[in-house]
Structure 1
Amino acid sequence: MSDTGFYVAVLFGAPAGLLRLPGLLRNPHDPLLRSVTALLVTTVAVFFFAATPTIARVNELTGVANFSAPLVYSLLMACSGSGILLLINWRGGSPQRIRRATRWCVGWYAAVIVALFALFHLGDTPDERLRDFDTHYAHTPYVREMIALYLLAHTASTLIMTSLCRRWLREVSGELRVGLAFLVVGYVLGLSFDLCKLAAVGARWYGVDWDVLSTGVAPPFAVGAAPFLALGFGLPLVVQRLRGPWRDWSRHRRLGPLAGLVGSLTPTATTVRITPLSAPGVRRLRRESCIHDGLLTLDPYFDLTLRSRTFAAALAAGATAESAAADADAAMLLAAVAALRADPERRVITSSRVLQEGAGDISDLVGIARSLSRAGTRTEGGTS
């Protein structure tokens, strides 16, 4: 298999990892953020250091034939451990349980990594093998144990992750369920990689040449698993990050008809400047503030009797209480705006000593805006 697939995975994964680093520097004690960053970094490192040109370069720089082998195996262990840690933090639970599981996971994979380098040091690998290290040294003392250890450890972690994801898949919904489904596919492909490697090495132990399973069949499974694992871990995090801004933008947009009706009735004295780059939350707060200012201006003109009649008529027509209340408020607002425009000198406002009771009950701004939109209200002005 060409090494292009490995470097393509690095090309797409590296920016995602770099984008996480500033957040990690700001919140170094966030376990979820640490797990995500560690997973991204180790995944990118695995694909980068597993590419044949990188293997040759690392061996050359270190001056140790096949030093890349324990390095890549160790990175693969770190990547597996990071994935399990991320799933542990995703699932949540008591802090004691999470800390206990985290310590167990880190301790286990750290021990495996130490054992890999120790076995490599004890073994003898004089001939540099860039593509078939696993099968070439399958009979070499200590090195065969190193190869078996990394394959069995990675297979075990893949089976654990597949089982956990499938079990959790039945308990969740939404983007998390979709992400877990991607993870299951990715880990099944990863398991196929492990089985091909194990079959090739096992065949060597029995004097059979199945090397093509290790050098030709297994790598595409690894490259194929990468996008599914990236989507599985990344999709829920991206959706969760975007959900707040999307809600703000959606509410800002739905308040448009109401903002157009009352938002320009009072000059807005605010230090918040709206620019094309302003966050959706800032835009939503600005629009809601303008609407509330407009409602205060309209308060002396509110006809609560009209509101009651409209509410009763809407209920009689079969509307729900929530929809009837929004329609009643919308009708009262339209009448109040008309009364305000018929009073250019604001005599009603200046003569009003106390605001009417009941005006503060207007809280369903989106429902009112929806009623205005259904009524086909068209107004001039508006707010940002």
Structure 2
Amino acid sequence: MKTVNDVLYPIDAALAWAALLFKLPSLRRGRREPAGVALCLAFAFIATTFTLVIPPVYATVDDLIGTKNIAVLISQCCVICYTVSIQLMLLFWAYPATDAWRRARWRLIVGVLVLPCMVTLFLLADANDQRTRDFVAHYAGLPVYSVYLLLYLSAYMVGRVDIIRLGLHYAPVAGRPWLRRGLYLTCVGGTLGLVYGVARAADIVGARLGADPHQWEILAQVGAGGGVIFTITGLTIPTWGPYVSRALRWLRRHHDYRSLYPLWHALVTASPQIALDPPRSRRLDHWDPRDLQFRLTRRVVEIRDGMLGLRPYFDDNVATIARSLGEQAGIEGDDLVAAIEASLLRSALDSMAAGESMQPRRAADHEPTGAEDVVGETAYLVKVAHAFDVSPIVATAVRTADSRRRTAANAASSRSTR
């Protein structure tokens, strides 16, 4: 029967090999820093570990070497080496080289001492029935293997706790945001590793008490497999995370650029002289391959130029009505200001298109609003553009003000004819 080993462990192995291939070029390009070497070793060890415990690979390795369950011994020795490698990497990240080597010494000594003891105890355990999916749970009750497992878990758990401690100590002072996030993810991976360790310790105790360790085998497998996914992500994210930030910034700029189009197009149509380039179809405009940051900045400037040109057409009544409608709808802050400005712009564009006379006295009554920096200004104008394009408050304010203006004009006309 297939278990988590058949699904999660191949994923872990693939991720670890990919991470190793991803990081190896950095060693070839420049000076081989101890932290970089330790990181590559960690990926190599954990990739080997999870490759060996994939059931078909497990059986093949046993057949090639001629010893039943030898794949388990190799994989668990690799786990110890992987744990020590991450400890060394974190030490070289957190401390100067001399201090890091001093702190690394006892960790290396523990690793060197534990591995031969593990090999000796494993070979003495007489675990000769091949178990490709539940080896530990099946043999946890064997006296010699229990000692082996206790030694392995002690080294593993101490290493996991040390990784979590180092990660939590260094993360708050890490200068780069993605390095800080990576360290926290590594700590999450270490915590899931502790779940694996506790489940394996329960195998020893449970077997002694007559319980069936298979009942919680899923916890050990998910703790090991899930912990490695978080750890690999955390250890590689400082390298590829900035590219994610760059992509997110591009997507945000592209979203803002597209969002500004309705307002920009309306203003350019009314005042073509404000545009560096003539307007095009919305689809062609959205996928212009030229520098997006320049085009976005240019669009913000052109919108502001167009808004300044419309100020003489602003109608105070429109602003009053829009404010009242917005407050009734529960809108406040920048959203309310944006809705008012969008209403003024819509009304001004209608007045300009109808050939109505300008009202210079009102230009000074409506000082430009927005932010002092380009990012804040862009965010504010996106709100204005959205309200201009879809807000019912804008349409209602303009329609109401226009109706009142016509009513007032008709009343004035009636008085003048009497």
Instruction: Report the TM-score range of the alignment, normalised by the length of the smaller protein.
Output: 0.5 to 0.7
What are the equivalent positions in structure 2 for 1:79-90 lying under 5 Å apart?
A: 79-90=82-93
- Cα drift, residue 77 of structure 1: 0.4
For residue 39 of structure 1, the aligned residue among 39, 42, 45 is 42
- Cα drift, residue 87 of structure 1: 0.3
Q: 1:42·1:75 contact (CA, 8 Å) conserved in 2?
A: yes
Q: In structure 2, how many angstroms separate the alpha carbons of the residues matched to 1:180 and 1:20?
A: 17
Q: 1:28·1:34 contact (CA, 8 Å) conserved in 2?
A: no
For residue 10 of structure 1, the aligned residue among 10, 13, 29 is 13
Q: In structure 1, how many angstroms separate the alpha carbons of the residues matched to 2:204 and 2:144?
A: 14
Structure 2, unmatched stretches of 5+, are 247-289, 295-418
Q: Report SS of the residue matched to 1:65.
A: coil
Q: Report SS of the residue matched to 1:142.
A: helix
For residue 60 of structure 2, the aligned residue among 53, 57, 60 is 57
Q: Percent identity?
A: 24
What are the equivalent positions in structure 2 for 1:1-384 lying under 5 Å apart?
A: 1-25=4-28, 27=30, 29-93=32-96, 95-172=97-174, 174-214=177-217, 216-238=218-240
Change (3 A) 1:126 1:28: farther
- Cα drift, residue 135 of structure 1: 3.0
- Cα drift, residue 239 of structure 1: 5.0
Q: Report SS of the residue matched to 2:210.
A: coil
- Cα drift, residue 151 of structure 1: 1.5
- Cα drift, residue 196 of structure 1: 1.2
Note the aligned Cα RMSD (angstroms): 2.8
> CA offsets, 1:48-97, max 9 Å, x none?
1122222111111111111112111101101101110110111022x322
- The amino acid across from 1:41 in the alignment is A
Q: In structure 2, how many angstroms separate the alpha carbons of the residues matched to 1:242 and 1:210?
A: 42
Q: Report SS of the residue matched to 1:170.
A: helix
> CA offsets, 1:259-284, max 9 Å, x none?
x9xxxxxxxxxxxxxxxxxxxxxxxx
- Cα drift, residue 28 of structure 1: 6.7
Q: 1:138·1:204 contact (CA, 8 Å) conserved in 2?
A: yes
- Cα drift, residue 102 of structure 1: 2.7
1:302 maps to what in 2? none
Larger Rg computed on CA atoms: 2
Q: In structure 2, how many angstroms separate the alpha carbons of the residues matched to 1:2 and 1:125?
A: 20
Q: 1:119·1:146 contact (CA, 8 Å) conserved in 2?
A: yes
In the superposition, the TM-score normalised over structure 1's length comes to 0.58
1:354 maps to what in 2? none
- Cα drift, residue 26 of structure 1: 5.1
> CA offsets, 1:173-205, max 9 Å, x none?
522221122112111111111111111221102
Q: By percentage of residues, which structure has more helix?
A: 2
Q: In structure 1, how many angstroms separate the alpha carbons of the residues matched to 2:192 and 2:30?
A: 34
Alignment size in residue pairs: 247
Q: In structure 1, how many angstroms separate the alpha carbons of the residues matched to 2:19 and 2:181?
A: 20
Q: 2:53·2:75 contact (CA, 8 Å) conserved in 1?
A: yes
Q: Report SS of the residue matched to 1:221.
A: helix
- Cα drift, residue 134 of structure 1: 1.8
Change (3 A) 1:117 1:36: same
Q: In structure 1, how many angstroms separate the alpha carbons of the residues matched to 2:237 and 2:86?
A: 15
Structure 1, unmatched stretches of 5+, are 245-255, 261-384
- The amino acid across from 1:176 in the alignment is L
Q: In structure 2, how many angstroms separate the alpha carbons of the residues matched to 1:241 and 1:90?
A: 21
